[in-house]
Structure 1
Amino acid sequence: MLEQPHFGRRLRRLRLARGLSQASLVGQGMSTGYLSRLESGERPPTERAVTYLAQRLGVDPSALTGPADGRSLTGILAAVTSAPPGADDTPALRRAVEEDAGEDPAARWQALWLLSHAACRDGDYELERTRLAELVDLSDRLDAPELRARSRVRFARCTRALGDVRAAERAAVAALSVARTAQLGVSDTLSALIVLIGVETALGELEAAGRHVAELERDLLPRAAPAQAAEALWTAAVVSDRQGDAATARTRLEAALSRLEGVDDLALWTRLRIAAAAAALQASPPRLADAEHRVGEAAAVLRLVGTPAQLQEVRALQAHLAFHQGRLEDARVLSRALLAEEDLRLSYRDRVRLSVLDGRLKILADRADEGIAALRRLGRQAAESANVDLAAHIWQSLATTLADVRPRDPAAGAPQRPGSERRSDSRL
């Protein structure tokens, strides 16, 4: 049994990591006063209390009672950052953070930064948000402008991935304000501006996004490192596409791809290939061969080094590609298999778009009422959560699909098949 006060510290960390108050954790089986004394180290835990609390937290009892590592958080950080490639010290780092007494806020900040990256890599955006919320608070306590800006940029990206674009907007605006006020370098300012442009695009605020793109290209892009410049150009390309300027969007995306001639940043390299495939599907007419080539490039790399979340993202894109190629059964099999997975790690945006595809396929398979109801529900939810760009995609997809299955005069021929529309509407 882990002795006090270490047990209490670990218990409190686990509770806070799940966003639980003391009252919500104890439920009807324990008093908050007893829990408070456990967390403060005033009372030793009983086996019955450990079993009950572990069940309420959704962890094995050993997560509460397992022996402490014996090393300081700083020591664990040294081991993690110097580990050879392929080593996974995340569990040890997580335990160290749970047992940390908070004596070194800077070390705790670094540990939480690494753990938030691990959660993002695994597609666990809820856990990532919990880590990042503490990072934002810690950075304010440390009063370090660089940390304040960087934690808010990451928080904005994460909350956008969860579909909370208003929270993402607040964090992105705060990050850019910190970067400008503290006169941080190009990298931090550009990171904040990139994430803000992405959020503004999701909110449908294209005029503001366009102004920020102009600022980005004029003041920051010429001084940016190649990888960050590629991400900035990719973000600007999305804005051009939403503004209806397909030619500029393609030029910017091709410029982004050219900035990464090597593959030092495999994550960004594959993301840009996926973005290029999406842009090819949005062209008029869709450039299906180009899209298939880009998807194949990303898939080949991710089969070797991809995380489950990244592999799911590629499979979702393959489903969209199959739909545009008219391979409706392949698209149906791919989308249904993904949506049926218990551990679906796609972002909110990608999950919704995959569900939209599933709804369109239902309409085309003579299950119109079911498909229409699903798309209407998704459209309302996106609008209510302020995801304006996503809502527009959903309603346009519904209108396009209904037009595809409208009754036709027999002399006029069969309705058009997906992929042959004059303008593709499935922005990925």
Structure 2
Amino acid sequence: MLEQPHFGRRLKRLRLARGLSQAGLVGRGMSTGYLSRLESGERPPTERAVAYLAQRLGVDPSALTGPSDGRSLPGILAAVASAPPGADDTPALRRAVEEDAGEDPAARWQALWLLSGAAGREGDHELERRTLTELVDLSDRLDAAELRARSRVRLARCSRALGDVRAAEEAAVGALSVARTARLGVADTLSALTVLIGVETALGELEAAGRHVAELERELLPRAAPALAAEALWAAAVVSDRQGDAATARTRLERALSLLDGGDDVALWARLRLAAAAAALQTSPPRVADAEHRLGEAAAVLRLVGTPAQLQEMRALQAHLAFHQGRLEDARALSRALLTEEDLRLSYRDRVRLSVLDGRLKILADRADEGIAALRRLGRQAAESANVDLAAHVWQSLATTLADVRPRDLAAGARERPGSEHRRDSCL
């Protein structure tokens, strides 16, 4: 049994990591006063209390009582920094953070930064947000401008991935304000401005996004490192596309792709190619061959080094590509397999787009009422969550699909009238 006060510290960390108050954790089986004394180290835990709390937290009792490895948080961080490629020290780092007494806030900040990055790469955005919320608070207590800006940039990205664009906007505006007030360098200012442009695009605030793109291209891009410049151009390309300027969007995206080769940042290299594939499919008319080429480039890398979240994103794009190639059965199989997966790690935006595809396929498979209802529900949900750009995509997809189906149905009806020269199955 882990002795006090270490048990109490670990218990409190686990509770806070799940966003639970003391009352929310104890339920009806324990008093908040008793829990408070456990967390403060005033009372030793009983086996019954451990079993109950572990059940409420959704962990094995050993997560509460298992022995510490005796290493300090700075020691764990040193081990992580010096670990060979491929080593996964995330569990040890998470345990160290849970047991940390908070004596070295800078070390704790670094640990939380690493843990939030690991959660984001794995597509666990809820865990990422909980970690980042503490990270932002700790950044403010440390009063270090660079840390305050960087933690808010990451929180903005995470909030947007969860579909909470208002929270993303608040974090992005805060990051840019810190960067400008403290006169931080190009990298921090460009990162904050890039994430704000993405949020403004999601909110449908294209005029504001366009002004920020002009500032970005005029003042920051010429001095930016290739990886940061590529991400900024990617965000700028989306703005151009939403403004109806497909030529500029394509030029910006091609510039972004040209800035990196596979040896710079493999993950970003692959992400940019997935973005290029998605952009090619969203143009009118879709550039299907271009999308297939870019998706093939990304797939060759992601099959070797991709995280589960990245592999799911790739499969979602493969479903969209199959749809635009007319392979509806393949698109249907790919989309349904993903949407019914137990551990779906796609971002909110990608989940909605995949659900839209599923609804369109239902309409085209003579399940129009079911498909239309699903798309209407998605459109309302996106609008209510302030994802204006995404809502526009949903309604446009519904209108496009209905416009495609109705002429076909009318033609089929005409062929079924007396005297028709063709049988119904001649048009299939």
**Structure 2 counterpart of 1:229, which letter?**
A
SS in 2 for 1:366: coil
Structure 2 CA distance for aligned equivalents of residues 263 and 4 of structure 1:
49
Structure 2 CA distance for aligned equivalents of residues 153 and 314 of structure 1:
25
Give the C-alpha shift of residue 261 in structure 1: 2.9
**2:235 equivalent in structure 1:** 235
**Structure 2 counterpart of 1:317, which letter?**
L
Per-residue CA deviation, residues 202-245 of structure 1 (Å, 9 max, x unaligned), is 00000000000000000000000011111111110000000000
**2:128 equivalent in structure 1:** 128
Per-residue CA deviation, residues 279-337 of structure 1 (Å, 9 max, x unaligned), is 22123322211111111111110110011110000000000000001100000000000
Give the C-alpha shift of residue 262 in structure 1: 4.0
Structure 1 CA distance for aligned equivalents of residues 222 and 264 of structure 2:
21
1:109 and 2:109 equivalent? yes
**1:225 equivalent in structure 2:** 225
Structure 2 CA distance for aligned equivalents of residues 121 and 279 of structure 1:
22
Structure 1, 272-281 or 107-116: larger mean CA deviation: 272-281
SS in 2 for 1:28: coil
Structure 1 CA distance for aligned equivalents of residues 338 and 378 of structure 2:
18
Max radius of gyration: which structure?
2
Q: Quick check: 2:332–2:361 contact (8 Å CA) kept in 1?
A: yes
Alignment of 1:285-364 (within 5 A): 285-364=285-364
Give the C-alpha shift of residue 95 in structure 1: 0.4
**1:204 equivalent in structure 2:** 204
**Structure 2 counterpart of 1:273, which letter?**
R
Structure 1, 276-285 or 343-352: larger mean CA deviation: 276-285
1:409 and 2:411 equivalent? yes
SS in 1 for 2:157: helix
Structure 1 CA distance for aligned equivalents of residues 13 and 255 of structure 2:
46
Per-residue CA deviation, residues 46-99 of structure 1 (Å, 9 max, x unaligned), is 000000000000000000000012011000000011100000000000000000
**2:84 equivalent in structure 1:** 84
SS in 1 for 2:343: coil
Structure 2 CA distance for aligned equivalents of residues 283 and 141 of structure 1:
46
Per-residue CA deviation, residues 137-180 of structure 1 (Å, 9 max, x unaligned), is 00000000000000000000000000000000000000000000
**Structure 1 counterpart of 2:353, which letter?**
R
Q: 1:336 to 1:262 in 2, by over 3 A?
A: closer
**2:30 equivalent in structure 1:** 30
Give the C-alpha shift of residue 404 in structure 1: 1.1
1:183 and 2:183 equivalent? yes
Q: Which has the higher contact order (CA 8 A, sep 6+)?
A: 1
Structure 1 CA distance for aligned equivalents of residues 368 and 306 of structure 2:
37
Alignment of 1:388-399 (within 5 A): 388-399=388-399
- Structure 1 residue runs without a partner (length 5+): 418-428
Structure 2 CA distance for aligned equivalents of residues 162 and 394 of structure 1:
18
- Structure 2 residue runs without a partner (length 5+): 416-421
**Structure 1 counterpart of 2:57, which letter?**
L
**1:51 equivalent in structure 2:** 51
**Structure 1 counterpart of 2:231, which letter?**
E
**Structure 1 counterpart of 2:355, which letter?**
S
**1:425 equivalent in structure 2:** none
Structure 1, 285-294 or 57-66: larger mean CA deviation: 285-294
**Structure 1 counterpart of 2:374, which letter?**
A
SS in 2 for 1:405: helix
Per-residue CA deviation, residues 5-26 of structure 1 (Å, 9 max, x unaligned), is 0000000000000000000100
Structure 1, 38-47 or 277-286: larger mean CA deviation: 277-286
Q: Quick check: 2:379–2:395 contact (8 Å CA) kept in 1?
A: yes
Structure 2 CA distance for aligned equivalents of residues 377 and 287 of structure 1:
29
Q: Quick check: 2:261–2:269 contact (8 Å CA) kept in 1?
A: no
Structure 2 CA distance for aligned equivalents of residues 238 and 156 of structure 1:
18
Q: Quick check: 2:234–2:252 contact (8 Å CA) kept in 1?
A: yes
Q: Structure 2 length as normaliser, TM-score?
A: 0.95
- Identity over aligned residues, as a percent? 89
Per-residue CA deviation, residues 237-289 of structure 1 (Å, 9 max, x unaligned), is 00000000000000000010111134320111011101111122123322211
Per-residue CA deviation, residues 95-123 of structure 1 (Å, 9 max, x unaligned), is 00000000000000000000000100110
Q: Structure 1 length as normaliser, TM-score?
A: 0.95
**2:276 equivalent in structure 1:** 276
Number of residues of Structure 1 aligned to a counterpart in Structure 2: 415
